[in-house]
Chains A and B, each alone.
Chain A
Amino acid sequence: MRIIQHPILGEYEKGEKVHFTLDGEDMTGFEGEAIAAALKAAGIMIHRYTVKEHKPRGLFCAIGRCTDCVMIVNGQSNVRTCITPLEEGMIVQTQYGVEAQEVWEANNK
């Protein structure tokens, strides 16, 4: 949930409202905020599935150190969504191992 008013910080400075997609679904967020922030605001918890055990992972350190939040952004894997700024039209996909869902599923019948 977004914090609209904070007792100390007041209102947060946000950029323009922008649209992006997550696994094909339409989403909205604010330009320049971390992709992970827009996802968290929408209640998304799972960012990727691990390579070996196919376990779900999500935000952990939120400062770009642990890489648990990486997703495929505009076709590029291993993008740290907690520190990458959101842009209009971004195509964000849940990362399966290091690949997109269709590729992983095809390889792991």
Chain B
Amino acid sequence: MIKVIRVAKIEPFIEKEDDGMIICRCEEITKGEIRRAVYEGMRTINEVKRYLRAGMGLCQGQTCQRLVQNIMAQELKTKPSELGMIQGRAPARPVEIDIFSNNITDVKEG
């Protein structure tokens, strides 16, 4: 079970030197933004994903998922396994909207 503990942060957010480093390449989300999201109460990777769009870009988190987990684990002083995996959902790869309108339910041979 994922332990989700939210406590009101009393101390201020501490900036770090490498906060400007890009983590989610597709959506251009920096390490600082992820750290701040955790500071603001995000406790699982799916929450950070929805809050920042990290993992929602064209590569769907393939490049950044582990990196985001590691940063969150460092901030929360916990193990990456406590943060969950980005929930796999269809479509597994980006698909243009107009293709959805072309729905073939009776696939012919070939």
Contact = CB atoms under 8 A, between A and B. Distances in A.
A11 B22 CA distance: 39
A70 B57 CA distance: 13
B28 A66 contact: no
B: interface residue count bin: under 10
Contact of B58 (A53, A55, A78): A78
A21 interface: no
A33 interface: no
Interface in B38-68: 57-59, 62-63
A: interface residue count bin: 10 to 19
Contacts of A70: 58
B93 to A, nearest CB: 9
Contacts, number: 24
A105 to B, nearest CB: 20
Nearest to B26: A67
A51 to B, nearest CB: 7
Contacts of A67: 26, 57-59
Interface of B: 25-26, 28, 57-59, 62-63
24 contacts: A50-B28, A51-B28, A52-B28, A53-B28, A55-B28, A57-B25, A60-B25, A61-B63, A65-B59, A65-B62, A65-B63, A66-B25, A66-B26, A66-B58, A66-B59, A66-B62, A66-B63, A67-B26, A67-B57, A67-B58, A67-B59, A68-B25, A70-B58, A78-B58
Given A67-B57, A67-B59, A70-B58, 15 more contacts: A50-B28, A51-B28, A57-B25, A60-B25, A61-B63, A65-B59, A65-B62, A65-B63, A66-B25, A66-B58, A66-B59, A66-B63, A67-B26, A68-B25, A78-B58
Interface of A: 50-53, 55, 57, 60-61, 65-68, 70, 78
